[in-house]
Structure 1
Amino acid sequence: MFRFLNTSGCYSLSKRFQTAMELVLGGLLLLIAGQLLPNLMAEPINWTVALGLYIVIASLVVIYWPQGALGWANRVTLVRAVLVALVAGGLAAGAFEPVIWQWLLIAVLALLLDGVDGWVARRTQSHSAFGARFDMELDALLIMLLCVGLLLESMGPWVLLIGGMRYLFVIAGCWFTWLKAPLPLSLRRKIVCVWQVSALLLALTPLTSHVLTGLLAISALLSLVMSFGADVKWLYQQT
Structure 2
Amino acid sequence: MTMTPNQSSPRYSKSRRHRALAELAVGLVPLALVTTGITRWFGLPNSYVLLAFLSYLVIAGLVISWLPSQDWPGLGAGNRVTAGRGTLVASLAALIPYPQILFDEGYWWIIGLATVALCLDGLDGLLARKTGTTTAFGARFDMELDSFLMLVLATLVWQSGRVEPWILAMGLPRYGFVAAGWLWHWLRAPLPPRLRRKTGCVAQGVALLVCLGPVIPPFVASTWAAATLCFLLASFAVDIVWLFRRR
When normalised by structure 2's length, the TM-score is 0.89
Of 151, 156, 160, the residue aligned with 1:153 is 160
Determine if contact 2:108/2:213 at 8 Å carries over to the other structure: yes
TM-aligned CA deviation for residue 42 of structure 1: 2.1
Who is 2:170 aligned against?
A: 162
Report % sequence identity.
38
Task: Flag as ranges the 4+ runs of structure 1 deviating above 6 A.
Answer: none
Residues 1:188 and 2:196 aligned together: yes
CA distance in structure 2 between the partners assigned to 1:43 and 1:171 by the alignment: 35
AA aligned to 2:222 is G
Determine if contact 1:40/1:96 at 8 Å carries over to the other structure: yes
CA distance in structure 1 between the partners assigned to 2:172 and 2:178 by the alignment: 10
AA aligned to 2:220 is L
Determine if contact 2:208/2:225 at 8 Å carries over to the other structure: yes
Who is 1:32 aligned against?
A: 33
CA distance in structure 1 between the partners assigned to 2:150 and 2:28 by the alignment: 22
Q: Which moved more, 1:35-44 or 1:60-69?
A: 35-44
When normalised by structure 1's length, the TM-score is 0.92
The 5 A counterparts of 1:61-72 are 61-65=63-67, 66-67=69-70, 68-72=73-77
Q: Which moved more, 1:34-43 or 1:189-198?
A: 34-43
AA aligned to 1:9 is P
CA distance in structure 1 between the partners assigned to 2:241 and 2:235 by the alignment: 10
Of 33, 48, 51, the residue aligned with 2:53 is 51
Determine if contact 1:39/1:95 at 8 Å carries over to the other structure: no
TM-aligned CA deviation for residue 39 of structure 1: 2.6
TM-aligned CA deviation for residue 144 of structure 1: 0.7
Who is 1:74 aligned against?
A: 79
TM-aligned CA deviation for residue 41 of structure 1: 7.4
Query: SS at 2:98's partner residue?
Result: helix
CA distance in structure 1 between the partners assigned to 2:242 and 2:42 by the alignment: 43
Q: 1:118 to 1:41 in 2, by over 3 A?
A: farther
AA aligned to 1:54 is Y
Of 90, 107, 111, the residue aligned with 1:85 is 90
TM-aligned CA deviation for residue 121 of structure 1: 1.1
CA distance in structure 2 between the partners assigned to 1:195 and 1:31 by the alignment: 30
TM-aligned CA deviation for residue 195 of structure 1: 0.4
Who is 1:106 aligned against?
A: 113
Determine if contact 1:83/1:107 at 8 Å carries over to the other structure: yes
Determine if contact 1:18/1:69 at 8 Å carries over to the other structure: yes
Determine if contact 1:76/1:116 at 8 Å carries over to the other structure: yes
RMSD: 1.8
Q: Which runs of 5+ in 2 are unaligned?
A: 1-5
CA distance in structure 1 between the partners assigned to 2:126 and 2:43 by the alignment: 31
CA distance in structure 2 between the partners assigned to 1:217 and 1:52 by the alignment: 30
AA aligned to 1:143 is M
Determine if contact 2:23/2:75 at 8 Å carries over to the other structure: yes
